[in-house]
Amino acid sequence: MKKRTAFSGILRCLKPYAMWIALSLAAALVAAAGQLLAPFYAGRAVDCILEGAVRWEELAGDLLAIGLSSAGAAAAMWLLGVSNHHIVYGVLCDVRWMAFSKISRLPLRYLDARPYGDVANVIVADAEQFSDGLLLAFNQFFTGIFTIAGVLGVMLVMRWQVALAVFFITPLSILAARFISSRTHTSFRRQAETRAEEAAFVDEMLGDLKVVKAFCREEKNEEIFGEKNEALRRASLRAVFFSSTTNPTTRFINSLVYAAVAVLGGLSVIATAGTVAPFTAGNLMTFLSYANQYTKPFNEISEVLAEFQNALVCAGRIFSLVGEEEEPSDEGLPALGRARGEVTAEDVAFSYTPERELIKGFDLRVKPGMRVAIVGPTGCGKTTLVNLLMRFYDVDAGVLAVDGKDIRTVTRASLRENYGMVLQETWLKEGTVRENLVMGRPDCTEEEMVAAAKAAHAHSFIRLLPQGYDTVIGDEGVLSAGQKQLLCIARVMVCRPPMLILDEATSNIDTRTERLVQEAFAELMEGRTSFVVAHRLSTIENADLILVMKAGKVVEQGTHEELLAREGFYASLYRAGFSG
Amino acid sequence: MKYLFSCLKKYRVEAVLAPLFKLLEAVMELLVPLVVRAIVNVGLPAGDKGYLVHACLLLVLFGATGLAFSLTAQFFAAKAAVGTSAELRSRLFSKLQSLSFTQIDDMGTSSMLTRMTSDTQQVQTGVNMTLRLLLRSPIVVFGAAIMAFVVDPMTALVFVGVIPLLAAVVFAVMYFTVPRYRAVQEKLDGVYLSARENLTGARVLRAFRMEEKEETRFSEKTERLRKAQESVGKISAVSGPLTLLLVNVAVIILIQAGAIRAEAGILGQGEVIALYNYLALILVELVKFANLIVTVTKSVSCMKRIGNVLALEGETENDDMGAENFDKDAPAVRFSDVSFTYEGGSAPALSGITFSAGRGETVGILGGTGSGKSTLVRLLPRFYAATEGKVEIFGRDVESIPLRELRGMVGYVPQKVALFTGTIASNLRWGREDATDEELLAAAETAQAEDVLEAKGGLGGEVAQAGRNLSGGQRQRLTIARALVKKPEILVLDDASSALDYATDARLREALSRLGCTVFYVSQRVASLRHADKIIVLDEGSIAGMGSHEELMAHCPLYVEIVRSQTEGL
Query: What is the tens place of the pLDDT at every residue in B204-231?
Result: 888 888 888 888 888 899 999 999 999 9
Average pLDDT over residues A251-256: 85
pLDDT at B569: 41
Interchain pair A104, B565: CB under 8 A = no
Non-local CB neighbours of B523 within 8 Å, separated by 6+ positions: B364, B365, B366, B493, B495, B497, B498, B529
Measure the CA–CA gap between B2 and B381, rounded to whole angstroms: 34
Half-sphere exposure (Cβ direction) of B541: Cα atoms closer than 13 Å: 12
Q: pTM for the whole thing?
A: 0.71
Angle between helix B239-263 and helix A18-48 axes, rounded to 10 deg? 10
pLDDT of residue B87: 92
Give the pLDDT confidence of B422-438 residue by residue, as tens digits.
Answer: 899 988 988 888 889 99
Specify the pLDDT at position A82.
Answer: 92
Q: What is the average pLDDT across B109-116?
A: 82
CA angle A246, A297, B63 (to 5 degrees): 55
Pick the residue from chain B with its C-alpha nearest to A60.
B256
Neighbours of B235 (CB within 10 A): 17
B interface mutation test: which of A40, A124, A256, A329 has the most B CBs within 10 A?
A124
| Predicted confidence (pLDDT) per residue in A469-482, tens digit | 888 887 555 677 77
Lowest average pLDDT, out of A530-539, B280-289, B315-324, B404-413, goes to B315-324
Q: Checking phi first, is residue A335 left (phi over 0); if not, alpha (psi -120 to 50) or beta? A: beta
- Helix ranges, B410-471 (H): 424-428, 437-446, 450-456
CB A549 within 8 A of CB A382: yes
CA angle, B33 then A297 then B163, to 5°: 50
Tell me what percent of chain A is helix, strand and coil, each rounded to the nearest 5. 65, 10, 20
Q: Answer yes or no: is the ipTM higher than 0.85.
A: no
Interatomic CA distance for residues A346 and A389, integer angstroms:
13
Tell me how crowded residue A351 is: count the other CB atoms within 10 A of its CB. 15
Strand partners of residue A373: A532, A546
CA distance A200 to A204: 6
| Residues B326 and B394 sit within 8 Å (Cβ to Cβ) | yes
Mean pLDDT of chain B: 85
If contacts are CB pairs under 8 Å, which of residues 66-105 in chain B contact chain A? 66-67, 70-71, 74-75, 77-79, 81-83, 85-86, 89-90, 93-94, 96-99, 101, 104-105
Region B71-76 average pLDDT:
93
User: At B319, is the pLDDT very low, low, confident or very high (cuts 50, 70, 90)?
Assistant: low
Q: How many CB atoms lie within 10 A of CB A301?
A: 25
* pLDDT per position as a tens digit, A295-330: 677 767 777 877 788 888 888 888 888 888 888 888
- Whether the CB-CB separation of A219 and B113 falls below 8 Å is answered with no
> Any idea what DSSP says for residue A34?
H
Contact B104 A210 (CB under 8 A): yes
Give the span between the Cα atoms of B68 and B388, in whole angstroms: 67
CA distances from A485 to A347, A427, B256, B550 (A): 34, 8, 80, 31
Pairing of the two strands B462-463 and B422-423:
antiparallel
Q: Which percentage of chain A shows pLDDT scores above 70? A: 95
d(CA B373, CA B386): 14
Task: Give the neighbor-by-neighbor strand order of the sheet with A499-503.
Answer: A419-422, A499-503, A529-533, A371-375, A545-550, A553-558
What does the alpha-carbon distance between residue A576 and residue A544 come to, in Å, rounded to a whole number?
21
- The angle formed by the CA atoms of residues A572, A573 and A577, to the nearest 5 degrees, is 120
How far CA A257 is from CA of A142, A180, A281, A404, B366, in Å, comes to 21, 20, 18, 80, 84
CA Rg value for chain A? 36
- Helix or strand or coil: residue B497? coil
Q: Where are the domains of chain A?
A: 2-322, 343-578
pLDDT tens per residue across span A107-132: 888 888 777 777 888 888 889 889 98
Mutation target vs B (from A147, A205, A215; most B CBs, 10 A cutoff):
A215
CA–CA gap between residue A363 and residue A560 (Å, rounded): 18
What is residue A432's three-state secondary structure? Answer: strand
Q: Does domain A2-322 have CATH number 1.10.8.10?
A: no
A 180-219 near B (Cβ less than 8 A): 195, 198-200, 202-218
Angle subtended by helix axes A511-525 and A481-495, to nearest 10: 10
Closest C-alpha among B520, B514, B557 to residue B536: B520
Helix H or strand E segment including B309: helix B269-310
Helix A142-158 vs helix A281-322: angle between axes, to the nearest 10 degrees? 150
The predicted structure's pLDDT at residue B567: 66
Q: Is the pLDDT of residue A157 over 80?
A: yes
Beta-bridge partner residues of A533: A374, A503
For A408, the enclosing helix (H) or strand (E) is none
CA-based nearest distance A3→chain B, Å? 24
Alpha carbon B392 to chain centroid, angstroms: 34
CA A168, distance to chain mean position in Å, is: 45
- pLDDT bin (cut points 50, 70, 90) of residue A579 is very low
Cα B109 to Cα A436, B106, B218, B221: the distances in Å are 20, 10, 19, 19
Distance CA A301, CA A295 (A): 10
CA angle A145, A146, A148 (to 5 degrees): 65
Contact with chain A for residue B460, Cβ under 8 A:
no
CB contact under 8 A, A115 and B291: no
| HEC sequence for B391-416 | EEECCEEHHHCCHHHHHHHEEEECCC
Number of other CB atoms surrounding residue A359 within 10 Å: 22
List, for residues A164-208, the tens digit of each pLDDT value. Answer: 888 888 778 778 877 887 778 888 888 888 988 898 888 888 888
Quote the pLDDT of residue B505: 82
Q: Which amino acid is at B296?
A: V
Task: Give the integer Cα–Cα distance in Å for B257 and B278.
Answer: 15
Looking at residue A551, its amino acid is: A
B60 vs A contacts (CB less than 8 Å): 255-256, 259
Sorted by sequence, the CB contacts under 8 Å of residue A460 that are 6+ apart come out as: none
| Backbone region of residue A431 per phi and psi (left: phi > 0; alpha: psi in -120 to 50; beta: other values) | left
For residue A163, pLDDT over 90 is answered with no
To the nearest whole Å, the CA of A367 is away from the closest chain B CA by 21
Confidence of residue B536 (pLDDT cuts 50, 70, 90): very high
What are the φ and ψ backbone dihedral angles of B514, each rounded to 5 degrees? -80, -10
Report yes or no: A292 and A251 within 8 Å, Cβ to Cβ: no
Average pLDDT over residues B477-484: 90
pLDDT band, residue A380 (cuts 50/70/90): low
| 382-441 in chain A: CB under 8 A from chain B | 382-383, 390, 392, 412-413, 416-417, 419, 421, 423-425, 427, 429-430, 439-440
Share of chain B above pLDDT 70, in %: 95
Helical segments of B99-154, H only: 101-107, 109-114, 120-129, 136-151
Decide: B272 and B255 in contact? Cβ < 8 Å.
yes
Domain A343-578, CATH 3.40.50.1820 — does that match? Answer: no
SS3 B47: coil
Q: State the DSSP code for B519.
A: E
| pLDDT given at position A379 | 59
- Partner residue opposite A119 with nearest CB, options B199, B412, B452: B199
Residue B547 predicted with pLDDT over 60: yes
The DSSP bridge pattern shows strands A499-503 and A529-533 to be parallel
Q: How far apart are CA A389 and CA A531, in angstroms?
A: 10
A485 Cα distance to chain centroid: 29
In tens, the pLDDT along A529-578 reads 999 887 666 778 888 999 888 777 788 889 888 988 888 888 877 776 53
User: Is residue B532 classed as helix, strand or coil in its secondary structure?
Assistant: coil
Mean pLDDT of A503-514: 72
A232 vs B contacts (CB less than 8 Å): 86
Q: Which residues contact B338 (CB under 8 A, 6 or more apart)?
A: B350, B352, B353, B354, B379, B386, B388, B389, B390, B391
pLDDT of residue A166: 83
Contact between B262 and A518 using a beta-carbon 8 Å cutoff: no
For chain B, what's the residue count? Answer: 570
Least Cα distance to B252 among A183, A67, A460 occurs for A67
Q: For residue B569, with 0-12 CB atoms within 10 Å meaning exposed, 13-18 middle and 19 or more buried, which class applies? A: middle
